[in-house]
A = this chain, B = another copy of it.
Amino acid sequence: MMRVVRAVTDLILPMAVIAYLFVGEVRAQEMLPKAPPVPEDNPTTPEKVLLGKTLFFDPRLSFDGTVSCNSCHNVMGSGDDGRAASVGIRGQVGSRGAPTVWNAAFLTVQFWDGRAKTLEEQAKGPLVNPIEMGMPDHQSVINRLKKISGYRELFEKAFGKKDPITIDNVAKAIAAYERTLIVPSRFDRWMAGEKNILSKKEQEGFEVMKTVGCFSCHMGPNFAGPQLPLGTGFFQKFPVYPSDYDKKYDLLSDLGRYEVTKDPNDKNRWRVPTLRNVALTAPYFHNGKVKTLDEAVRVMGKSQLNVDLTKDQVEKIVAFLKTLNGEFPKQEMPRLPVGDGGSSVVE
């Protein structure tokens, strides 16, 4: 199955690049759509979104009650945790950084290595990852939620009265909430016709990125590749070109998608990440070894395009990337439902 998918994406990647070469600017300049793609079996409803937001913020979804989805994907901030590698229960540190959840609904696969095809599938992972939220299994998540009596009404409103508290519905609700986490930026207002909203330097940065080839991968409305069907990943080798950065920033030891497929061709291949909010989501790359955006731009130039970007080019690119900083919406806090008969947390 994985091999089939990879074969398909291996076909699609060059096809997309060819399409890009033909369509040129237009491909690289798409505005962020108002709403992301939604899977047929999980239409977004206000009730599901409210439940999903509540679950997203509830640390009782972790074994010891200390880690919520929001702990690593902080939507009061940039949708991440500002750390090189995220921290789960009992202070355990993972090996990769948390990607931002803002606009993640536009990504066609989830996780750095694309091992989840949908937001729904992604949401189930950290719950039972022993170094993340650490629940022993999905049934334990459901048992805990059933103990918190206040959740019943939220689930019934979202999914009906017949056995609504299931792990699939937990994942559907969280994904439905995440599909509301769409954040356009000044760039989109520029695209919509506010021509003076980007400075000369920012516009020059955009031109530099087109010219040197950044958009051959970071194309599309989310600057993360073409909008392929959900579940179809858009992967790229990183680094493509060997350089001193490989050792300096330990770019090769994590084999990326290979850890999922065990296909030697997938060694050091990664899902192309979004550039939206990139200036807000330091540190950089899967291992967070690069601390600043200007250095991340230099590494990308060298490793992916074999270009030694000049100081001027880097400054302009950084200026442009900041135009992708989201103009974040106001959100109301959810109220975490209460249980009967004491705390539901295990210590």
Which residues on A are within 8 Å of B, measured CB to CB? 57, 59-60, 64-66, 71, 74-78, 81-85, 87, 89-93, 280, 282-283, 291-293, 325, 328, 330-336, 338, 341-345, 347
Contact = CB atoms under 8 A, between A and B. Distances in A.
B330 A332 contact: yes
Nearest to A67: B66
Given A76-B57, A91-B92, A328-B335, A347 B84 contact: yes
Contact of A332 (B81, B333, B336): B333
A80 to B, nearest CB: 9
B280 A342 contact: no
27 contacts: A59-B71, A59-B81, A60-B82, A65-B81, A66-B71, A66-B83, A66-B87, A76-B334, A76-B336, A77-B335, A77-B336, A81-B345, A82-B343, A83-B343, A83-B347, A85-B347, A90-B91, A91-B91, A282-B341, A282-B342, A291-B343, A292-B341, A325-B338, A330-B333, A331-B333, A332-B332, A332-B333
A292 B339 CA distance: 11
A82 B333 CA distance: 18
Contacts of A292: 341-342
Nearest to A71: B66
Contacts of A332: 330-333
Contacts of A60: 82
B81 A333 contact: no
A59 to B, nearest CB: 7
Nearest to A344: B82
Nearest to A325: B338
Contacts of A90: 91
Nearest to A85: B347
A78 to B, nearest CB: 7
10 residue pairs, one from A and one from B, having the closest CB atoms: A91-B91, A282-B342, A90-B91, A77-B336, A82-B343, A282-B343, A292-B342, A291-B342, A331-B333, A82-B345
Nearest to A78: B338
A81 B66 contact: yes
Nearest to A296: B342
Interface centre among A282, A336, A343 (most CB of B within 10 A): A343
A77 B342 CA distance: 14
A341 B322 CA distance: 11
Given A66-B81, A90-B91, A331-B333, 19 more contacts: A57-B76, A65-B81, A65-B82, A66-B83, A74-B336, A76-B335, A76-B336, A77-B335, A77-B336, A77-B338, A78-B338, A82-B344, A83-B343, A83-B345, A85-B347, A291-B342, A293-B342, A328-B335, A330-B333
A346 to B, nearest CB: 9
A81 B82 CA distance: 23
Contacts of A71: 59, 66
A87 B293 CA distance: 33
Nearest to A54: B76
